Structure formats: structure tokens, C-alpha cells
Structure 1
Amino acid sequence: MKISKLYLLLPLVWINLITAQDYTDLKAPEKSNTTTSQFENNWSFTAGVNIVDDSGNSLNNLFKFKENQAHNWAFQTPITIGAEYYFKEQFSFYAKASFNSFKPGKSIDGTIVDSESNPDFFAFDLGAKYSFRKLIKSETFDFYMGYGFGYTSIEEYINKKNQQEIQPKSRITGNASLGLNIWFTKNMALNMDAAAKFTYTSDASHYLQYNLAVVYLLSKK
């Protein structure tokens, strides 16, 4: 319940950030900024890989990396693609699609995938991001926070523990993310992103997703 209540407060934080930014823009005279002009009213596209931890206890075992890698992390055909529109200096909208699959022996919601199963994972997410690049005055390190919603589905599989068939699962999630873009040029960056995806259905748990991708920002004349 504490996590749920905290997550419900995120939109209020979001509104506060937007209001504070608008107030700052009104007070401060507009200055020339090459990085800002390159982003505003522009698009970027991403392609990379992802890791999914849908073990049912991913939030409790967040820093048990060896255990998570061995038993919980899905990393088979882990494709992530996305697009982002920067509509204002520090704010953007994004859309992202993720594909993955769970190998035999991996954990899903407290069950273990049987040796004959290989369930596919799919997620589609929409949301908004707030970038801190202007606040920290950096053209290279672009830290951001994100907030949005998504849809997730996992195919049917056999539970190794009792040989019961687990039916396909789908869920709507609320997503909170933190990430970093490292800009090597004005148009190319390495993206690292971690998202906590919260769901409130009785047959599925919250889960974590990590992304590593290359970002290409469209050039502006």
C-alpha cells in the first residue's frame, strides 16, 4: 500500500516541476543555448536491448544482482525500440516497445518456467520525461525522470513446480523510471534506463525493466 500511495503522488510532483519551470522561464531572460535549440521541437529514436525481472519479488531483491541474473532476469531476444518528441526544453513524450522471452528455469511471479516452455514477453509504454541537463548545465550527461503507463503481456507456459499450465497474462501498468543519456555527439547518445512498473491486478505482480540503447537525435538546420 505504501508503494501504491507514493506512486499516486507522482503526478503532483510532475505538475510542480512543470509549474516551476514555467515560472523560471518567465523570470529569466532567454539566452542562446545550442543544446536546447537542438532538442526543442525535435525527435529522437532508440534501439537497444532490455532485461525484465518479473519474479514477483523484484522490488524486495533489487540489489541481489547475482541471484537476479541467474534466476529472475529474462534476456532472450531482448529487443527495445522507441521514439521520443521533445516539445519543450526539458520535457518530452515517448513511446517504447519491448520484446523478450523467458528461458527455462527463470522465475515469473513466483513460478518457475518448465524446461519445455519459452514464454514470450511484450510491453508497450507511453509517457513523459523531465530532463535535468539544463539544471546541471551539462551537454554530455543528460539525467532524466519519467512517468507513464503501459501494457504488458506474457505467453502461456508450464510451471515447473507443479506442472500446471499458466495461462497468458496481460496487465496495465503505471511506470516510474530514471535514466541517463550520455551524448557523444549532438546527435548520438548511449541510453541507460531503469523502470519500475506497477500493476494492481490480483494475478500479476509489479516488475522491473532495464534498458540499454543507442539514441539518434534528428539534425536541425
Structure 2
Amino acid sequence: MKHLSKIVLASLLIFGFTSVKAQDADNPWAIGIGTNAVDFYPVGEDAPLGGMFDEYFNTGDHWNVLPAVSKLSVSRYIGAGFVGELSGSINQIENYGDRSVGDLAYYAVDLSADYSLRALLNDGWLDPVVGIGGGYTWIGDQDGQDINNADAATLNGKVGLNFWFSDNIALSLESKYKHAFEPESAKHFQHAAGIKFIFGGKDTDGDGVYDKNDECPETPGLEEFNGCPDTDGDGIEDRQDACPEEAGLAEFDGCPDTDGDGVADPDDDCPEVAGLAEMNGCPDADGDGVRDDEDNCPEEAGPAENDGCPWADTDGDGILDKDDDCPEEAGPAASNGCPEPTAEVISELNEYSKTVLFDLNKATIRTESEEALQSIVDIMNEYSTTIFHVEGHTDSSGSDAYNMKLSKERAASVATWLEENGVPSKRLTSEGYGETQPIATNSTAKGRQDNRRVEISLDKDREMKDNSEEEDNK
């Protein structure tokens, strides 16, 4: 018993405040096994006994402990917190009050009614117990001779603690006072410590609802659903839940309505976008009877046979107004229905570009070329969707690498000037071609002069690529 405080502390640290089961109507039976200590000293005033509770914890001088299994008990839950217990114990008495005696045999049989205070502590692991009952004690020497006629019937009162560290096992500690009216020398305390095992109830799925009350005995569930599960936690048990893996609403038999349109997700073709019941939960923004995910013109009303589009083509260029960047001006599909510059316009641009002059062996544009460049800007801005390509060319004088570098720089210089003076950069590309694309012989001064030029053309490849990307993004 000197290690009792350590045992109790360890129990507190290990088991914390976990809610566990204890002996009750579901687990009515319990068996206890342990050891006991008998103390004749602090129970009276007659020598050799001390006064009541004198030296109650003097284990070394007064306690008689048999270091073996020396107490067995069986108990049954009665109801309303009461338990009936029958116990038997044995011991060897060496200390009889304040004097030593030879090894006296000690036998006791006790019957008690115990009351658990555990419910007052929120049904936790700590289970205080008080009890009252009676029993009979036999005390004698090894030859069967009693001492002072000590055999007696006793009236017993006890207090105890059960530490429930699992659903079915508890550490049990108790102290019992046994009062004998005759002879008074038989009065004594008996302390016990041991393990208590409860049993009797069956809970196959381990959900805390015993099989006799469990409507789903092989599937863990909740007490409020008589042991049946509610997997998604929406308050609708799985047996009545059409969507047991997704939290939902009772009005939809446990299924969700993510977009709140009154159509349950399993029946909603557009579960994340609010829509109409007659269209299986999908929207019809333009109200033309064609749901948006099937409507090629969801913002414009049109007949179903035209995929919801009005099919208007105001400028008659074969491109529907919804796809036409210039719906009132005819133009090819390559420029999204906008007009493109004609060959005559391109020729006019290049007449201006021929007059663009650069400093010798540099990409710096000379001031006298700015009037021609402004004319080019004015023409380009008449075609707001056309992408123009600025080309730089040289004659064959100098090395190939030098000519290529110079031509790239001059083309880029012209494109930069155009951008800075009103042409959006997304409508301009530039490249240098060095001496690779001559338009005249490099054998004469006149031919070389013609080859040193800047030309402007339409960037068809860029337009096709941009149009393709726009279609992909739709």
C-alpha cells in the first residue's frame, strides 16, 4: 500500500478524462481479484487497540498483508446506481492491535449494497463508491483455536474508488470498517486493492450501443440513430440517406443542392451553377429555351435549331455578328470579319517606307523620315485589326552576320517608332533578313541601293495564330 499514491497518480496521467463505460445495466456482472490488508488497531479504545482512526495509515506496525491473491468478489448491477457484491477474503494475522501474535488464520465473507457516485462526475473515469452491508469473520490459530472468541458477525461500511481505464477494466481501491458488537475485539478495518472486470453486454461493432438495442449491430453508428451510422454527418442516417457520403438536406433525402436552385445534385446537370428545374438544373441566361451549356450564343436569344444563336450577319461577310469584330464592315475570317488593306494600300505603305532613311551603318532613323512614318501610322490605324510585319533588308556589302544584325535592328527601330506614335504593339511584328532577299542585283550601286530597304507586309501567320487561340479560349 505504500505505493498507492504513485499508482493513483499514474492512473490520472495515463487515462486523463476519457469517458468510459462502467458496471451498469448493459454490463451487469463484475468479478474482482486482488489483495487485502487487515488492521485491528484504529478501531476502538480497549487495549491493545487504539482510538478510532488512530494511526490509520501506520502500515508498518499494524497492517496485516498477505502478499498474494487474497480477495475475490462477484457483483451484480441492481439499478439506479446500486450494485450488490459478495466477497471472500483470507489473510494471516501477525499484528493484533499493538502487539504481535503468531500467524492467525483470517477468513471473511461479506455481502454489501454499493452505490456509485460516478454519474455525479459526468460519467468519467473516476468512480467513487460508498457501501453498507454485513458479513462474518473467523479468526483462529493454526490449530483451529480462536483467540478471545474473536469470530463474529459484522456490520460493514465502506468507501472506495474505481479507476476505469478501459470500457471493461478498473483499478479498484477500498477501505471497509467491520463493526462487531460481540466481542468488541473483533472490530477492525480491512483495506483492499485489485482489478475489476465487468462483462455481460455485447457490442459487436464497438459503437457503444449494445447489440440488443443496436439496429445496425455490425456497423458502428450513433446512439441517436439506435447504433446506425450517419457517414456524412448531415443528421440523416445512412439507411434513409440517398447520398450517404455527401452532407445534404432532408428535403432532398440527404443529398446536397450545391447551387441552391432547388434541384438536388444527383439530378442536376449543372450542380455548381443555379438553373431551372425544367432544364435539369442548368441556366438559360437569354431565355430562348436552350440551356447555356448547349447555347452557342448564351447572351443572345435564338432558336434551338440554330444552337441558340440569332444567326445575324449584318455586313454579309459570312461571319456571324457574334464572331465578327467589325459586324458592320465586311472582312475576311482571317481578320475576324474586319476589312484588310488591299494590295494598293500595301503598295502605298511601301512607297512611304522606301523614303525612310537611317544613319550610316546604324539603326537610327533620320529626322527627315518622320513625315513618311507618320503617313504609315495613319494608314495602319485605318485597319484596326490587321497585324503588320516590318521587314529589314540590306545589300551584300559586309559580312552576312553584320548584315543580318543591322537589318534586324533597323526593322525593330521602325516598329518601335510606329508603336510610340499610335500603332498598338500587338499589331506589329518585325524581323531582319539581311542580304537573303534581294530585289535587285548587288553588282551595281543602283541595285545595292534598292536592296537596302524597309518593307511592310501583312503578318498572316500571326493573325491565324491569334484567331486560333481566341477559339480555344471560348
Q: Please name the residue that 1:97 is paired with.
A: 88
Length-normalised TM-score, structure 1: 0.70
The letter of the residue matching 2:40 is D
1:84 matched to 2:75? The reply is yes
Q: Which runs of 4+ in 1 moved over 3 A?
A: 33-36, 165-168
Contact residue 123 and residue 151 of structure 1 kept, 8 A: yes
Contact residue 180 and residue 191 of structure 1 kept, 8 A: yes
The letter of the residue matching 1:57 is G
- How far is the alpha carbon of 1:87 from its aligned partner? 1.6
Residues 27-176 of structure 1: matches in 2 within 5 Å?
A: 35=21, 39-40=24-25, 42-55=28-41, 56-57=49-50, 59-63=52-56, 65=57, 68-77=58-67, 79-103=70-94, 106=95, 108-109=96-97, 111-113=99-101, 117-156=102-141, 166=147, 169-176=150-157
Report Cα offsets for 1:78-112 as digits up to 9, x if no partner: 50100110021411100010111023xx2x25553
Greater helix percent: which structure?
2
Contact residue 157 and residue 166 of structure 1 kept, 8 A: no
The letter of the residue matching 1:176 is G
**How many angstroms apart in 2 are the aligned matches of 1:58 and 1:218?**
41
Unaligned residue ranges in structure 2 (runs of 5+): 1-18, 42-48, 203-474
- How far is the alpha carbon of 1:153 from its aligned partner? 1.0
Q: Please name the residue that 1:213 is paired with.
A: 194
Unaligned residue ranges in structure 1 (runs of 5+): 1-32, 159-164
Which of 172, 188, 202 is equivalent to 2:183?
202
Q: Please name the residue that 2:455 is paired with.
A: none
**What's the RMSD between the two structures over aligned residues?**
2.5
Higher RCO structure, 1 or 2 (CA under 8 Å, sep 6+): 1
**How many angstroms apart in 1 are the aligned matches of 2:104 and 2:65?**
12
Contact residue 21 and residue 166 of structure 2 kept, 8 A: no
Contact residue 40 and residue 89 of structure 1 kept, 8 A: no
**How many angstroms apart in 2 are the aligned matches of 1:88 and 1:166?**
41
The letter of the residue matching 1:182 is F
Largest Rg, 1 or 2: 2
Contact residue 59 and residue 208 of structure 1 kept, 8 A: no
Please state whether the residue corresponding to 1:181 is helix, strand or coil: strand
Contact residue 153 and residue 168 of structure 1 kept, 8 A: no
The letter of the residue matching 1:147 is I
- How far is the alpha carbon of 1:71 from its aligned partner? 2.2
Compared CA separation, residues 119 and 205, structure 1 to 2 (3 A): closer
1:180 matched to 2:171? The reply is no
**How many angstroms apart in 1 are the aligned matches of 2:135 and 2:163?**
25
- How far is the alpha carbon of 1:202 from its aligned partner? 3.2
Compared CA separation, residues 138 and 34, structure 1 to 2 (3 A): closer
How many residues end up aligned between the 2 structures? 173
Report Cα offsets for 1:144-182 as digits up to 9, x if no partner: 100000101111379xxxxxx935621000000000100
